[in-house]
Amino acid sequence: MSQIRDAPAFDFYPERWLVGVATLSDAEQLSYLRLLCHQWLLQGLPEDVPALKRLGGKGVTPAVLAKLPLQADGKRRNPRLEIIREEQRERIAKKSEQRRAAAIKRWHAAPETPPANGLRTHGVSTLEKHPPGMRPHSGSLRETDAAGMRPHCGSICETDAGGMRKPCESPCENHAAGMPTPHHPPPTSHPVPEDANNAGAGAREAEAAVDAAAADAADEEAAARAASDAAADRAAAAEAAAERTASARQAADEANPSLATVQAWAVAIGCPPDKAEIWWHEHEARPLTVFGCWTDRDGNAVRRPQHALAAWWQKWQANDHQRNTRNHPPSTTSYHATNRPTPARSDSANAPGRYA
């Protein structure tokens, strides 16, 4: 039993552990568990307390030492862990013996001896199991010897199974070639004409050809349908790509309109083309946004250039009206006319790009 090598793990029972360490602190439980592991590997713990503290930690207290009593060989051990070690060794030895017996039974079993009468026995013949004088008179042929069922005589029938057959010279009993087999059925009394066989083969071949033609037609139809679906998908993809291109071009035109587009917008709102050209040049001169859009004088993106042009033209007309009023004051020759000073306005208000 001492030659059996211990397993790297031991059986742990949570219920027993919780009951046994219920009065210990967390540090004492940790040290106690570490000492149990060292006991399993070392098959014993040292006697002195400083060595135990190096193995178990600072939680080694008298309460923990009480669970590791000193044995006769001078080492400390937990009795319950040694009982678990012995039970595990017995279990390992029992399993090893069972595996050894199974291997011996498998590789060193008695060989089968084929008897003379054709009955298979395992290791021991039927004559050894049942002596000739005590052979049973009933049962299957596997339990008794076929020779015991024949009368005791000196003829060849006791030793040779061929003596039980009647002497017959007919080919049906002596030659297996005379017996019909499932692989070679005997000829019928009404043979099928050769032309009938040919007709049946021709019909089967015609049916197979029709099936093959139908399968080919189905494959061609499926291929044509797949090609049509692929063409439709390509057309749809091309149409979607064209729509996306047109939308992108329209968005680009709306974000950065050309001079011709701006002049067309100007004609629609009554703005002279030369004024619209000034507005277009002012926006083209400014930096673009990260998305490629125009910016105004404050650096903001121009989202709708057409509306921006309309607003700019309205402000231009309002400024032009103010300039005309300042340059041509009302007449003072009328009876009720009163001379009033014209307020001075800054020329920066009429600077180009003021209301851009």
Kindly report the pTM of this predicted structure: 0.31
Lowest mean pLDDT among 85-94, 111-120, 210-219, 316-325: 111-120
The predicted-structure confidence for 91-105, as pLDDT tens digits, reads as follows 999 998 999 999 998
The predicted-structure confidence for 204-242, as pLDDT tens digits, reads as follows 888 888 888 888 888 888 988 999 899 999 999 998 888
Residue 141: what pLDDT? 40
The predicted-structure confidence for 115-152, as pLDDT tens digits, reads as follows 556 555 554 444 444 444 444 444 444 444 444 445 44
Cα 257 to Cα 102, 250, 270, 271, 306: the distances in Å are: 95, 9, 18, 16, 9
Phi, psi of 63 (to 5 degrees): -65, -35
What contacts 340, CB < 8 A, 6 or more positions away? Answer: none
Amino acid at the residue 249: R
Residue 54: what pLDDT? 92
| Residue 6, helix vs strand vs coil | coil
Of 300 and 256, the structure prediction assigns the larger pLDDT to 300
89/258 Cα distance (integer angstroms) = 96
**pLDDT tops 80 at residue 64:** yes
Nearest to 352 by CA among 274, 300, 266: 274
DSSP label of 1: -
Residue 31: what pLDDT? 93
175/168 Cα distance (integer angstroms) = 11
Gyration radius (Cα) of the chain, Å: 58
**pLDDT tops 90 at residue 26:** yes
Which residue is associated with the tokens 């596997």?
142
Amino acid at the residue 281: H
**pLDDT tops 70 at residue 161:** no
What contacts 58, CB < 8 A, 6 or more positions away? Answer: 27, 31
Phi, psi of 301 (to 5 degrees): -70, 140
The four Cα atoms 149, 152, 156, 160 give a dihedral, to 10 degrees, of 30
